[in-house]
Amino acid sequence: MKKWLGISALLLAPAAFGQTISKPVHVANCSATNSPTFSNPGKIATMVCPLPEPALSGNAVIVGVTASGTLAAPTDDKGDTFTQLGSTSTDATNVVHNALWCSMVTAGAQVITFNSSGSTNNNNSGFAAEFNDVTNCTMDVGTSHVTTGVASGAQTLTGGSATPTASGDLIIEYMTLDTATNGACTAGSNTSITWKLGGENTFQYSCWQWGQYNSTSALNPNFNAQVPASSSAYNAIWASLKTSSTGTAIGTGLHAISWFHQNSPNPASVTATLKFPVYGNTHVILHSVASSCYWTGITSSPALTWTLLGSTIQGPQYSGIWYAKNDTSPSSAMTISPTTLGGCNGTSNNIYTAAMIDLVNGATNPIDTGWGTSGYCATSGNPTSGGGNITGPTCTPSFANEVILLVESNAADSSTGFPTPSGNVFMQDYYTCQASGCTGGNNGPNGYTVPTLADENDGWAIFEPGSTLTAQTWTMSHDTSTNTNLGNWSMSLGAFIPQLTASPGSQVNGGVQITGGVSIQ
């Protein structure tokens, strides 16, 4: 029982008047879609979209949401209030609705929930992006600006003209296509602003971009879109936010800036090209697939060397971890193209999901090779009955302040979290159904409240143990309301280390003496 979704998360550096916003702080992209594999998911009530790390003090979180139902204000795990930025945008066929919200969130907020309702509420997707130096979520122009129409082929889509009152505004633009799948967009081109792609949900199509507008002349933001269908209704919405020196910028340690989830269509009849905007120096892709059609390689543009952690894929329900290191010129326009085993392309077996994580301040050799075997900690199983927790591998971090990333793949059932080790964050984005809104079967009963039809039924997690270098045993909980047997499953973990200031044998990292018995790769 495989399910799918696409998701992404971001963080921004300083952006006051006269300063330059150089990079995001935290971002997540998420979506629930009508998968060709399963029946229509029906009426969605909520969509959970976690940031990769807790929000920092004094920062703004901007949320963009798309749904075919009625949109309501997002919520978070700190009870913060989100204010809508202007009005809701509705496409030319009155099917898909877009809106933007903003909140000066409480420090530590991480789990963002999109809320919507309606008799045909599905195709939900969105993003959450954290920025510092945003002035109290105050809009410069006073409202959002929207445009709708019908697009086909390669086309530049504009968002509507308005004139900011101050130079240095943060501009956010969000665009969706109603009927297109496998769409594509690139950042637009306007004078006095350098657009950067914030994220793209390739298969349930939406994308967004951001930039700092250093002018007070009229602005009509544009996207470059590629519509694979003969035509598709679209809508675009943008807002301008005042900036000042406020909030908290990203620090010098190892941080996960963004978390993007992408999924293939079924069948995967095209070679996937996925957008992966990056700002850090270490990039990680967690990959799971239901069959033997696992990835055998990755190419990217700009070109980077992608390495399979541990040189192996954990099977027979496959999971694996790829990474690229020492990116000295990270690009918000980066694309990746995976390759699979021969004979898989265009088949229903070639259904995959991937989480793409961007890390800043990674070490030159970012892998903790003392973690598991050569830096790869993994195990697999096939329980024949029972609904209890699954026990995964036990591994020990070697360095303080590591970032540990997990991908787990199930043949059936849905992961619902990782009870141990304490402090890990379950990174699956998922939806819940309205009380009378689901269609049963693979989607679960009405009122289903566990992860479903989003992000596959697989599990994802991030864990930052700080200076605690004790052995960690990973356990997984899973839903048993429709099925008690996971079938084949596998779990893969990688541990990534921060930049070090001395060689092993003399390095004191976070108060922990490195004795030279552990190598860094």
| Residue 31 to residue 506: CA distance in whole angstroms | 47
Q: For residues 180 and 106, give the distance between their C-alpha atoms in angstroms, rounded to a whole number.
A: 37
Report the DSSP beta bridge partners of residue 34: none
Q: Is the dihedral of CA 426, 62, 8, 98 positive or negative?
A: positive
Structure tokens given for 267: 């069948």
- Joined tokens for residue 58: 């004094």
The pLDDT profile of the chain, 521 residues, written as one tens digit per residue, is 333 333 344 444 333 344 566 666 888 877 654 432 333 445 666 778 899 999 999 999 999 988 777 788 999 999 999 999 988 877 766 667 788 999 999 999 999 988 877 655 555 778 999 999 998 999 998 677 777 777 777 778 888 889 999 899 999 999 887 765 566 788 999 999 999 999 887 766 788 999 999 999 999 998 888 776 666 778 888 999 999 888 999 888 999 999 987 766 544 444 568 889 999 999 999 988 766 677 888 999 999 999 999 877 776 788 889 999 999 999 999 999 888 776 565 555 556 678 899 999 999 999 999 999 889 999 988 875 666 888 999 999 999 999 999 998 887 777 888 999 999 999 876 666 655 555 544 444 444 455 444 445 788 899 999 999 999 999 998 877 666 677 788 899 999 999 975 444 333 333 333 333 333 33
CA distance 326 to 265: 32
Beta strand pairing call for 206-213 and 196-201: antiparallel
CA 57 to chain centre: 22
Burial of 271 (0-12, 13-18, 19+ CB in 10 A): exposed
- Secondary structure class of 441 (helix, strand, coil): helix
Kindly report the pTM of this predicted structure.
0.87
The Cα-based distances of 495 to 202, 374, 376 in angstroms read 28, 11, 8
| CA 397 – CA 340 distance, rounded (Å) | 31
Residues 6+ apart with CB under 8 A from 349: 290, 291, 292, 293
Identify the burial level of 202 via C-beta atoms within 10 angstroms of its C-beta, where 0-12 means exposed, 13-18 middle and 19 or more buried: buried
506 is written with which tokens? 């003399």
Long-range pairs, 180-184, Cβ under 8 A, ≥24: 180/205, 180/227, 180/228, 180/229, 180/232, 181/205, 181/228, 181/229, 181/265, 182/228, 182/265, 182/270, 183/207, 183/225, 183/226, 183/227, 183/228, 183/232, 184/225, 184/226, 184/228, 184/273, 184/275
| DSSP assigned state of 481 | S
Residue 28 has a pLDDT of: 83
Contacts 24+ apart (CB under 8 A), 11-14: 11/53, 11/130, 11/131, 11/250, 11/255, 11/257, 11/258, 12/129, 12/130, 12/131, 12/132, 12/133, 13/132, 13/249, 13/250, 14/132, 14/133, 14/245, 14/249
